Amino acid sequence: MLKNRRHFGQHSYTVPSPTSYPFQWFWDSCFHAIILSYLDTAAAKAELLSLASKQFKNGMIPHMIYWEDPHKYTFPSIPWGKHRTSSIVQPPMLAYATWAVHQKDPDKKFLSEMLPVIVKLHKYFLTIRDPYRHHLAGLVHPDESGEDNSPRFDSVLQLKPKQTIDANYHRRLILVNRYRIQQFRIKKHMEKFHWVRDVPTNAILTVNLLYESLIAGELHEFNQATWARQQSEEVAAAMRKYMLEGNVMWSTMGRNYHHIEVKTWAIFAPLFGNILTPEEAHRLVSGHLLNKKEFAARYSVPTVALNEPSFDPKGFWRGPIWMATNWFIYLGLLNYGYEREAAKILEDSLMLVTKHGLREQFNPLTGEPMGAYNFTWGGLVLDMLARQK
Ligand code: GLC
């Protein structure tokens, strides 16, 4: 973590991987702050304040910030943002991360710097990303989910379950260009090309609204705290209304909430959001997480069910284990008291990073490491260990 820290003027941040990902990413920085809260709280605060400094006027925080000239790197940087940033977002983990840092190093000044940023960010998700005020935020591009090539987005990209990484990249690039040509008009773009209400993003939004409420309460901003708690409840209720089928929540496509019935780890994200009843959670865990045909692979937890036609143990977001998704599922299981099942995820995660180092992904069938080196997300195991029951 500390080796991946970078300084730029008064700002500092952490690169997810020095070789593969040399910039600042939005949800990565939130994970970094959670990890850094155990190592260096000043660095954790600086990481989040750097993100805040690039917030757009409308509240969006870009998913990529190129502090340095991106042309210095071979990383494909698309000229889509005005101020050396991208123009899409990632799941809003900011309030959660802010609170995590405050827990380790109580600091009301830091909270009061972050609160207005968090309020604006959440309002962005609840208004601009939800033009008809149904309390579900829409994504304009698969990369906004943080799971760039996930098969959840195949149908909207008009791709078959078996595909090449190049074909997927090509479609995602076309979508970026369309967005740019539309001059980033979100409602129009969603109506014409890509309107996905994703389960993890909305589950994360519900949780982060609750953390906004805690932060506002701590600062005696009681009206704001009440507003955020109510919005959190509204998002959770909308998820139940539009996404729930039996005990599974599906991401939806288009204005009319067409269910995208592709089984990915996303079906467990509602556990993180505390959105299911205990009975629904029980059926979800026993029927899917512990099902050997689906998610009970040799190593926990594959990002795509083993029996999905798109499952590929080496495909980018199409099967391999990622530490952030393990972290979300782990916390979700603990929310519902599944301590034994959570312990298995922690045990596998710890074994994988101890044996292979901090790699980006792991094959769920063999444990083989893949992708970027010195990849920060493995540090989330530290947080999992600290929460162990
Ligand atoms: C990949 C991941 C994304 C992450 C980025 C930087 O694009 O899909 O979630 O933010 O790398 O680590």
Tokens 């990209």 found at: 157
Comparing C-alpha atoms, which of 186, 202, 191 is closest to residue 237? 202
**What does the pLDDT read at residue 78?**
60
- Residues in the chain, pLDDT under 50: none
Comparing C-alpha atoms, which of 380, 375, 374, 311 is closest to residue 345? 380
Residue 376 CA: which ligand 1 atom is closest?
12
Cα–ligand 1 centroid distance for 136 (angstroms)? 23
User: What token pair was written down for 342?
Assistant: 């959570």
Q: Is the CB of 25 under 6 A from ligand 1?
A: yes
Is the Cβ–Cβ distance between 311 and 242 less than 8 Å? no
Work out whether the CA dihedral 212, 214, 220, 221 comes out positive or negative.
positive
Task: State phi, psi for 229 to the nearest 5 degrees.
Answer: -65, -40
Cα–ligand 1 centroid distance for 145 (angstroms)? 10
Q: Is the CB of 378 under 6 A from ligand 1?
A: no
**What does the pLDDT read at residue 195?**
97
Residue 375 CA: which ligand 1 atom is closest?
12
Tokens 């997810």 found at: 16
| Angle value at C-alpha 109, between 103 and 111, nearest 5 degrees | 50
Q: Is the CB of 200 under 6 A from ligand 1?
A: no
Give the separation between CA 7 and CA 110, rounded to whole angstroms.
19
Give the separation between CA 317 and CA 92, rounded to whole angstroms.
19
**What does the pLDDT read at residue 240?**
98
Q: Is the CB of 371 under 6 A from ligand 1?
A: no
Comparing C-alpha atoms, which of 261, 281, 259, 258 is closest to residue 270? 281
User: What token pair was written down for 168?
Assistant: 């997927």
Cα–ligand 1 centroid distance for 342 (angstroms)? 24
Cα–ligand 1 centroid distance for 106 (angstroms)? 30
Q: Is the CB of 146 under 6 A from ligand 1?
A: yes
Cis status, amide bond into 301, omega within 30 of 0: yes
Tens of pLDDT, residue by residue over 271-313, are 999 999 999 999 999 999 999 999 999 999 999 999 999 999 9
Cα–ligand 1 centroid distance for 377 (angstroms)? 10
Comparing C-alpha atoms, which of 100, 89, 45 is closest to residue 211? 100
Residue 17 CA: which ligand 1 atom is closest?
12
Tens of pLDDT, residue by residue over 158-204, are 999 999 999 999 999 999 999 988 889 999 999 999 999 999 999 99
Cα–ligand 1 centroid distance for 178 (angstroms)? 22
Indicate yes or no: pTM above 0.95.
Answer: yes
**What does the pLDDT read at residue 77?**
57
